[in-house]
Structure 1
Amino acid sequence: MHTLIAAAIGLVSGLTSGLFGVGGGIVMVPAMLFLLSPPIRDVKQAVGTSLLVIIPTALVSAGKHWTQGNVDWRTALALAPMAVAGGYLGAWLTTRIPADDLKRLFGAFLMLVSLKLLLGR
């Protein structure tokens, strides 16, 4: 059953990644916490697992978007170095933030992004 649930999470995550550029954090992390605990023990493990899974997902999705002319290389190259640095810093911060606090911060972040998308311009 675990494998079927994980496969369903992967499918939904891949679909949302290709459609909206999201999937790991917004889909996989909450789904793993709600549906795959155990063996996923906390938000930190869910984040780490989703980041590993999102690599091939992002490569395939980005490749398809590139063939459709949907990649602005100048912007991508400007974003990449600091995104890599921020990813390293964020992973390091998880060693300093308790899992429960991280889960609350993540939930608040999702709510803010949702409100901005729904109500903003």
Structure 2
Amino acid sequence: MTTILTLIIIGLLAGILSGLVGVGGGIIMVPLFVFVLGLTQHNAQGLSLAVMLPPVTILAVYNYHNASGGTIDWKATVIVATLFVLGSFLGSKLALQIDQRMLKKIFGFFMLMVAIKMIFSK
């Protein structure tokens, strides 16, 4: 029961932050899956990606599209989404070849660099 409640909280938190600031999978779910649920880095990343299989952000996209007067660039969306599929396939193949401890360090370093850049940029 505790695990189900934890999953509910993680899903709600990731969903709210995804709609609010455009983050959810890597920045919210993966660390919580590792540190709260005790999953391995590989399992946490796989679960985070599995959550994205259904169109989880369609209502958030709808809100942004309506609020911006329909200015979402759908051509860019299709290009990025198509290459995202290819890139995620290649990235997952690479990630599964990397030791879990090293992968966790790479993941943490990437998050740290993004955080520093966002905090100190104008």
TM-score with structure 2 length normalisation?
0.87
Distance (whole Å) between structure 2 residues aligned to residue 26 and residue 86 of structure 1: 18
Distance (whole Å) between structure 2 residues aligned to residue 49 and residue 63 of structure 1: 25
Distance (whole Å) between structure 2 residues aligned to residue 20 and residue 75 of structure 1: 20
TM-score with structure 1 length normalisation?
0.88
Specify the alignment match of 2:52 in structure 1: 54
Contact residue 30 and residue 48 of structure 2 kept, 8 A? yes
Identity %: 36
Specify the alignment match of 1:10 in structure 2: 11
Specify the alignment match of 2:42 in structure 1: 44
1:57 alignment partner, SS class: coil
Residue 70 of structure 1, CA deviation: 5.6
Residue 87 of structure 1, CA deviation: 0.7
Specify the alignment match of 1:26 in structure 2: 27
Segments of 4+ moved more than 4 angstroms: none
Distance (whole Å) between structure 2 residues aligned to residue 117 and residue 108 of structure 1: 14
Residue 57 of structure 1, CA deviation: 2.3
What runs of 5+ residues in structure 2 fail to find an aligned partner?
none
Aligned residue-pair number: 118
Specify the alignment match of 2:82 in structure 1: 81
